[in-house]
Structure 1
Amino acid sequence: MWVEKRKIKINDKNKPGKKIEVTRYKFIERYKDSLTGKEHKVSVTYNRDNARIRKAALNEINDKIDKLQKQVNQKATTLTLKQLGTLFLSYYEPTVAPRTYIYHKSLLNQIYEDLGEDILVVRITTPMLNRYFDSKLYNSDTSLSNSYVNALKKTLSLLYKYANRYGYLSINPVKDSQITFKDETETKRDRIENKYLNKKEYQKILKYCDKKHKQYLKDAFELQYLTGLRFGELSALQVKDVFEKDGHTYLDINGTMVTTDTHPIRHFKSKRTKTLAGLRQVLLSPHATKIVQRNCIGKKKDEWLISHRTKKSGSNSPLILNSANSFLKHAAKEEKISKKVTTHIFRHTHVSNLADMGVPLRVIQKRVGHADSDITRRIYLHVTKHAKEEFIDMIDKIDDTE
């Protein structure tokens, strides 16, 4: 609490029509609105300033704040899941990367659909959430993965932590909830080889691009295969991000492509990568250099490195993740590739190729922008284990050469 001394003019009771100057003391305190998180001021005014007055002013201010917060808490008891989610997202959006915001927004939309957007947040309990998570994992119609259900829980946890922090709720049903995870050991073991392409499958994808006259997609997939870039990082590359150093060509990875869920859809480059480790400079092979140099021809520094001309506007459009994945889905089906082929498979294939060449894991992680990654480690260990098994077979046959 602080005091502001002010001189004001008031009507003179003894002399009607005249004003006199008097001193007033305004006692002020800040408090944080538990609904919005914004700071507000509360004040009271007295004629004097002394220890007794200050104590009285503080008590009066605290009473005012308590009344204001009680009004807020009364509103919170009628707050629906959708209303809380809307408030949370407005708070959350400026604090995280655009892709992270869009990701959690989509998960919240799924939660609204499952639990009901009009359900009161005070009615959501821990047992209810436990049943919800079980239904998402074991319902024969949905049967979602452990990772997706865990992502739903993490989003709910963010929502309730926000509600606790700003006074919407005093309880957090997510905190004590538990997910009875499925045993995915066999699934993961069977799936690891499906995370990357062999050379024959990779060539089939490139030939399909030629068949469909999609040179820009072929260039994109080849660059991912040769660099291990995330598709969002590749999409966000501009001509100015290509540079030469000591006779070699590099790509400066300094952002990722963001696609909004607004109408009309917007595409823009964020100022950050998915992780801090994603900020890096990637050395290009001779073939990758040729692809990059060809795509730089006739473009200004701020233009997208890989782009294509759209029929509607006639302007250059950046790479779109959903369109690329849709194309790959059709390619895999037509070329009879049994694996789930998305843009990310080229990144994993790059990891497997480097592992097969004997490149240390820490060097691979730095190149692909991973501080730590379970899937990168699993691919690396799988490939190196396979190489060791082949080596053992060679040793077993060495006696035959005598």
Structure 2
Amino acid sequence: MWDEQLPDGRYKFFERYKDPYTGTWKRVATILTSNSSRAQKQAQKILERRIAEKIAQLKTSEMLFTDLFDQWWTFYQQEIKRSSIASLSGNIKEIRESFGLGVKVVNIDPKYVQNYLDSLDCSRNKKERTKSMLNLAFDYAADLDIIKDNPARRAKLPRVKKTLEDWKKVEEKYLDEDEIKPLLKELYRRPSTYRTALLAEFMSLNGCRIGEAVSLEPGNRDFETKVLQLHGTYDHTGGYRNGEKTTPKTNASYRETIMTKREMEILEEMEFINELEKNTNPRYREMGYIFTTKNGVPIQTNSFNLALKKANERLEKPIQKNLTSHIFRHTLVSRLAENRVPLKAIMDRVGHADAKTTTQIYTHITKKLKANVAEIMENY
């Protein structure tokens, strides 16, 4: 701090501070009638308060969106899994390079966000993910009092109009009994896909995700109580051999199910053939999981999906649907809906807190059941 005497005999006190965003030096000042020790202490307090106010004002008016976005992403990565970081990195990079370049956070309004979303030439899912990232970044800014309202949450994506084709697509999300039986039979027929068959049938009975299935350990099942603990998923971001069991996708995903007799038979068989491999295969690696390859490594999703497609091509009447691991999960939803199991009970079984696909399949199946009722009534 320094001072200068003014022509009228008063004293002007100055103090410098560094702009945290531009790196430039600025100064504040105050005028007092004296430069005594007491006056200097008073001036120091006044100047410190003004510097704090200036910096606080800068935080709400000068910060660029790109700086905010980088700060938020650094923070957010501490809250999510490695697999989520890897899957979101592409979106983050695109937003970082195309949104709010050189624009102050406080100058971004809902119309600015809306124009950006409208200009994106990409799929609906990608637009939804982009908007979600912007929502979170601006929520972070609001929490830090950089802005008062979140402009991204006031921007809208147009509602998707449901068409007849959309309803037909719902049928492609699950397998009917006359489809799953020949597919499983073909998978079981070949020794090279026998483990794939066991995993596929298990998921069609339990409704778990493939990541949940391949992270199952012997300690997660109790054949006496028939309880199966689905308390995690397999994170293979660093490769399947270096993967690890992590927390599940959502709180609803952390669940326990009651196993059917066939589910327990499948688990017992997998553990038995793993034990055989452990004693006869020099390449076997004990990782502690149940659904593994002959070398002890959890079954890879890509390999599983490829095996499904190859088996389907070998069928006399190939299934005209996109076959992935998720179709077995949805097949269970279809089976339970056809047997009039309440939607909430199905969602609890498959671990959904808010299940768009589950609801679609449930609504579709129950609609077919209503048609069956009408046909029955026609016979009276």
When normalised by structure 2's length, the TM-score is 0.72
**Structure 1 residues 225-234 or 158-167, which shifts more?**
158-167
> Any idea what SS the aligned residue of 1:307 has?
coil
User: Contact 1:98/1:270 (CA < 8 Å) preserved in 2?
Assistant: no
Could you tell me which residue of structure 2 aligns to residue 346 of structure 1?
A: 328
* Structure 2 residue 235 is matched with structure 1 residue 258: yes
For 2:253, the aligned partner's letter is G
Instruction: After TM superposition, give the deviation of residue 70 of structure 1 in Å.
Output: 7.0
Q: How much does 1:290 deviate?
A: 0.9
Stretches of structure 1 that go unaligned for 5 or more consecutive residues are: 1-32, 36-50, 310-314
Question: Which of 84, 93, 105 is the matching residue for 1:109?
Answer: 93
Matched, 1:183 2:161: yes
Aligned to 1:224: 203
- How far apart, in 2, do the equivalents of 1:193 and 1:102 lie? 31
Q: Confirm or deny: 8 A CA contact 2:207 2:349 kept in the other structure.
A: yes
TM-score (norm 1): 0.69
Letter in 2 for 1:223: F
Cα separation, partners in 2 of 1:282 and 1:187, compared to 1, 3 Å: same
Kept in 2, the 8 Å contact 1:254–1:279? The answer is: yes
Alpha-carbon deviations, 1:147-200, whole Å to 9, x = none?
Answer: 442222111121233244447778855244332344234343221211110122
State the 1:370 CA deviation.
2.1
41, 49, 71: which one aligns with 1:62? 49
Contact 1:228–1:350, Cα closer than 8 Å, also in 2: yes
Number of aligned positions between the proteins: 331
Aligned to 2:365: 383
Alpha-carbon shift at residue 367 of structure 1 (Å):
1.4
Structure 2 counterparts to residues 176-215 of structure 1, below 5 A: 176-210=154-188, 211=190, 213-215=192-194
More strand, by proportion:
1
Q: Secondary structure at the match of 2:192?
A: coil
Q: How does 1:1-400 map to 2 (within 5 A)?
A: 59-66=46-53, 76-77=63-64, 80=66, 84-112=68-96, 115=98, 119-122=101-104, 126-127=110-111, 129-136=113-120, 139=121, 142=122, 144-145=123-124, 147-166=125-144, 173-210=151-188, 211=190, 213-246=192-225, 249-260=226-237, 266-271=242-247, 273-297=248-272, 298=275, 303-309=288-294, 315-332=295-312, 335=315, 336-397=318-379
1:6-58 per-position Cα deviation (integer Å, ceiling 9, x unaligned): xxxxxxxxxxxxxxxxxxxxxxxxxxx999xxxxxxxxxxxxxxx99997675
Task: Flag the 1:377–1:55 CA change in 2: closer, same or farther, 3 A.
Answer: farther
SS of 2:172's partner is helix
Q: Could you tell me whether the CA contact under 8 Å between 1:365 and 1:371 is conserved in 2?
A: yes
* Percent identity of equivalent pairs: 25
How far the C-alpha of 1:85 sits from its partner, in A, is 4.1
Aligned-pair distance for 1:358? 2.8
- Residue 22 of structure 1: aligned partner: none
Deviations 1:193-238 (A, max 9, x none): 1111012221343244344712222221111101011122112211
Give how far 1:112 is off.
4.6
CA apart distance, 1:242: 1.1
Look up the equivalent residue of 1:109 and give its one-letter code.
K
CA distance in 1, matches of 2:39, 2:240: 62
Q: What residue identity is the alignment partner of 1:324?
A: F
Deviates more, 1:62-71 or 1:382-391: 62-71
3-state SS of 1:281 partner: strand
Aligned residue in 2 for 1:21 = none
